[in-house]
Structure 1
Amino acid sequence: MLRFVGRKIPSSKGFQSLLINSNNNNNTLSSVCCTPSSLSHNSGVYSKSIFNKPVLLENNSSRNFTSTTVKRAESVEKEIKKDEENVKLTKPSLSVIKKLIEIAKPETKLLATGMACLAVSAAVSLILPIGVGRLVDTLALPPEQATEQLKLIGYGLSGLFAVSAAAVIGRYTAVQTAGQKIQKRLRKRLFDSYMRQDVQFFDNTKTGELVNRLSTDVEVVSETITHTIISGMRSLVEASGGIILLCFLSFKLTGVAVSIFPLLGIGAVVYGRYVKKLSKSYLDELAKSTAFAQERISNIRTVRLFSAEKKEVKNYEDKIEHVFNSGRQLGIARGVFYSAVNFGANMSMIAVLALGGFDVISGALTVGKLTSFLLYSIYVGISFTNLSQVYGDVMKAMGSSERIFELMHQKPLIEVSRDHGKQLDKIIGNIVFNDVTFSYPQRKEVQVLKNFNLNIKPGDVVAIVGMSGSGKSTILSLLSRFYDVDNGLITIDGEDIRGLDATWLRTHIGVVSQEPVLFDMTIEENIRYGIPEGVEVTMEQIIEAAKKANCHEFIMSFPDGYNTRIGEKGMGLSGGQRQRISLCRSILLNPKILALDEATSGKF
């Protein structure tokens, strides 16, 4: 087994170490030790056998760790500007629409059911004005005849309303179910894409933004595909049917009523494009504020330690001020558009009333038909207003869907699926860093490793000592293939790790990092976390691993023992306890490579 063990070396110069122990004899962790006396205060590579046998220390292994520097403010500003440039909008493409259709396709039956119910309720709505018109005309008939007609019309409309009510229930049930299934599918695919991305992707993307895309944006897209589109179809049916019936009642008045529609159509297109831009800006600002809040809340202990509560509240207030400004602009745009639509519709209605009144006086129309015409005019006006709103909502969803599909189809630089790369029959433990040069993608101008060479053989214990930022943790990141080297070569048993299956490789590497990360689960679930699917682990094996990691005793001191929930990031435990649980997890995994990186790792 090959083990990396790191601990902080007491030194006024602040040197730290990463101890590398290579052993293929499956020895217990208790065999591994590293004391301050065994490590020098000078940066370098050291070797020691756990059995006190001499091992090879390559004197010609050269290393040149360059200390990382803090990114200059100008570089930060450039990255911010680059992020803002990525927000530039494009017109909705056919590819986006096709992807939305593909997402909704499995729910075709549910959506068709919703459409059928919508057709029924829309038909009932179109019949209502005719019924009202008949009622008005019936009032002019003799009392006995009028009474019979009123009863007949009343019973007929009551039955239609009952059918419409049932159709509405069916429509909302079907559409809501379809919407939830689409949300579930979108969130699963998006989260699956997140899990497949390489570490560099997460270095460049804020967690809060990813969470916001997973929640808010997915909901916006789902609502548009289901409720908004269905509502738009209802408005389209009512508008089309209403215009046909208006023409049937009076072609002349219909021309007056629809004269405003071309202007409404042009205004809707302009409004929709503008709303898409504002909505994208609003959602981006919301994502930024969410990311900020999530980061501060998750690090509340640091905020509290430096008494920065008021400062962070002020910073968050600045963030949500941008959200407010974007939302206010969106509200103003909607207010102006709908005000113009209502004004135009009202002016059209006044013209219809005036001309219709003259037709009633001349006998060309009955009062009942004029009433029906006015009701249909209102229906058509409301339907076109709704269609304008639907168009704006669709443009808003387009902005969200473009970002979602961009994330869903993001190709990782380093594949994590098991069908990419070679899997060795076994790992012996020969690790070679050959002239490795590496810079982090976010700061290419700073070389963390330059012409770095290291040869680790089975049975070796190697400690890498250096100042903070000199590249000790970077070595582990490169070996785990979180990143690929810029130049040079890293091999395991003679195989370039870039040709190996990255997921398979990581199953053979156990890590206890400087800041061990645990999940909001029970202690047992956290210990089992690294076990591959299909591998059975007994409770006895967990307890044995816990004893080796020296954590069984304090686990059993809790009332619920191994079933104790430890809270977000394991904050229900002390730092040392979290690290021991993390170590226990790695021991249970029984990896070929075990790395204990700095902090108190050497105390185990």
Structure 2
Amino acid sequence: MTKKNADVDSVDPVARKPDRGLKATLSPLRPLLPYALRYKRTIVFAFVALLMAAGATLTLPLAVRGMIDHGFSADSAGAVNAYFGAMIAVAATLAIASGTRYYFVMTLGEHVVADLRADLFKHLTALDAAFYDTAKTGELLSRLTADTTQLKSAFGSSASVALRNLFMFFGAIVMMVATSPKLAGMTLAAIPIIVLPLIASGRAVRRRSRSAQDTLAQASAYAGENLSAVRAMQANGAQASTTARFTRAVVAAYDAAQAATLLRAFVTAGAILVVFTSVVVVR
């Protein structure tokens, strides 16, 4: 590998590595961990809020069950206010914990992205001048701004939701085993049938999303190059051809994003259908 190619890979390692499964997909996020560990207090607050939100979510059905089983019976009609109060308290805990989790997680994501952008710009300024003979400034700016924003979403809100769902999964399994071991066993047996197709579909969605992001970066690079040389473009009367080419690039970016959105919509619909169908079948 030449030095120039090595520089290109160091700027955009995610877009140039082949898809080698889940491990290869998650490995590019590992360099972000040192950035996050700079803000340990924020991580602790977010983790505590996440645990509280997951616990409240698991407790809420119990509060509703108690209200239905005992709150409306003739023998305990006087306790209906207490059961309603307990349900409201659980809901309030869930609301406060969810809001707190969102605040700290997004704050952590903003910190990580800000530090990453600063380090990436420092790296770009240290690259050899020969690198910029072939690199497109507009594409580099897109990587510096738009792509890092995507990382904020992945490392911030998406990661916290995944952790919350993981905690809720194990908590729900424990509660199901305590309620009905047979039903819990049937549910666990159905999980691989449900999850494996969703994992495969998720990889396809990631590939489409990456393609859409790359296409948008190319359109931004083309616009940046022509706007920086607008005098030469106007002197040669190339406004119409330049506009037409940029329009085609924008349409291509739209088509790529639309394809990713459509695939994501099908995955979401399929996940909901499979989950609720499995609940009916298990019953």
TM range (shorter): 0.7 to 0.9
Structure 2 partner of 1:415: none
CA contact (8 A) 1:278 1:326 kept: yes
SS in structure 2 at match of 1:254:
helix
1:97-116 deviation line (CA, Å, top 9, x unaligned): 43122222112220221110
Indicate the structure whose relative CO is greater, using CA pairs within 8 Å and at least 6 residues apart: 1
CA distance in 2, matches of 1:343, 1:94: 27
Structure 1 partner of 2:34: 102
Alignment of 1:115 onto 2:47: yes
CA distance in 2, matches of 1:89, 1:161: 45
Alignment of 1:89 onto 2:18: yes
Shift in CA distance, 255/283, structure 1 to aligned 2, threshold 3 Å? same
Bigger Cα Rg:
1
SS in structure 1 at match of 2:38:
helix
CA contact (8 A) 1:275 1:330 kept: yes
Letter in 2 for 1:298: S
Q: 1:127 aligns with which of 49, 52, 59?
A: 59
Structure 1 partner of 2:200: 270
Q: How does 1:205-604 map to 2 (within 5 A)?
A: 205-352=135-282, 355=283
CA distance in 1, matches of 2:219, 2:97: 42
Q: 1:146 aligns with which of 69, 76, 81?
A: 76
Shift in CA distance, 258/341, structure 1 to aligned 2, threshold 3 Å? farther
Shift in CA distance, 109/212, structure 1 to aligned 2, threshold 3 Å? same
Show structure 1 runs of 5+ residues with no match. Answer: 1-85, 356-604
CA distance in 1, matches of 2:27, 2:97: 34
Shift in CA distance, 260/325, structure 1 to aligned 2, threshold 3 Å? farther
1:93 Cα deviation from its structure 2 partner: 7.0
Q: Percent identity?
A: 23
CA distance in 2, matches of 1:127, 1:93: 34
1:45-74 deviation line (CA, Å, top 9, x unaligned): xxxxxxxxxxxxxxxxxxxxxxxxxxxxxx
Letter in 1 for 2:98: V
Q: 2:88 aligns with which of 158, 161, 165?
A: 158
Alignment of 1:178 onto 2:127: no
User: Superposition RMSD on alpha carbons, in Å?
Assistant: 2.3
Higher helix content, 1 or 2 = 2
Letter in 2 for 1:137: D
Structure 2 partner of 1:33: none
| Aligned residue pair count | 266
SS in structure 2 at match of 1:199:
coil
Structure 2 partner of 1:203: 133
1:259 Cα deviation from its structure 2 partner: 4.2
Letter in 1 for 2:122: D
Shift in CA distance, 239/93, structure 1 to aligned 2, threshold 3 Å? closer
Shift in CA distance, 307/94, structure 1 to aligned 2, threshold 3 Å? closer
CA distance in 2, matches of 1:187, 1:298: 23
SS in structure 1 at match of 2:203:
helix
What is the TM-score normalised by the length of structure 2? 0.84
What is the TM-score normalised by the length of structure 1? 0.41
Letter in 1 for 2:18: L
1:6-26 deviation line (CA, Å, top 9, x unaligned): xxxxxxxxxxxxxxxxxxxxx
Structure 1 partner of 2:6: none
Shift in CA distance, 114/128, structure 1 to aligned 2, threshold 3 Å? same
1:287 Cα deviation from its structure 2 partner: 0.7
Show structure 2 runs of 5+ residues with no match. Answer: 1-14
1:94 Cα deviation from its structure 2 partner: 7.6
Shift in CA distance, 93/256, structure 1 to aligned 2, threshold 3 Å? closer
1:258 Cα deviation from its structure 2 partner: 4.3
SS in structure 1 at match of 2:166:
helix
1:82-132 deviation line (CA, Å, top 9, x unaligned): xxxx84524327863431222221122202211101111111111111111
CA distance in 1, matches of 2:50, 2:87: 18
